[in-house]
Amino acid sequence: MGRESYEQRWAALSDEVLTGMRDWRVQHPSATLREIETELDRRLARLRARMLEDLALQSRAAAWSAQAPDQRPSCRQCGTALAPRGTQVRRLKTHGGQELTLPRTYGLCPQCGQGLFPPR
């Protein structure tokens, strides 16, 4: 996905937060400051998670298997360049409780057998 596509997706999600909060506020006219803040945080957590996921996927760590061996991540134990061993998905939780899905190339050290996922 290109930079413009990411920014368009983020803009759409931002608009959803703004519009959704306006609608929510109309439906909850007597909400307390704490309730408003909780709802806003819940909505912003989704936007934050998408941005975080998109930015992480732009990282060199996302797809390093096509790189020359001297450009690949190295083994943390012995320093040898890792050999790619397929792509696996890693699921992580953000501070806001949202799930990120990050496909990463799994690496295996040809020297000592140490595996690393995701590299770097």
How do the domains of the chain map onto residue ranges? 1-58, 61-120
Residue 19's CB: how many other CB atoms inside 10 A? 10
d(CA 109, CA 113): 5
Predicted local confidence at residue 5, as pLDDT? 86
Predicted local confidence at residue 62, as pLDDT? 64
43: left (phi over 0), alpha (psi -120 to 50) or beta: alpha
Which range is most confident: 52-61, 64-73, 104-113? 104-113
| Mean of pLDDT values over 102-107 | 85
For 7-33, the pLDDT digits (tens) are 888 999 999 999 999 999 999 999 999
3-class SS of residue 120: coil
Residue 58's CB: how many other CB atoms inside 10 A? 11
Predicted local confidence at residue 52, as pLDDT? 92
Please determine, for residue 120, whether its predicted confidence score (pLDDT) is greater than 70: no
Listed in order, strand segments (DSSP E) in 1-120 are: 83-93, 99-108, 115-116
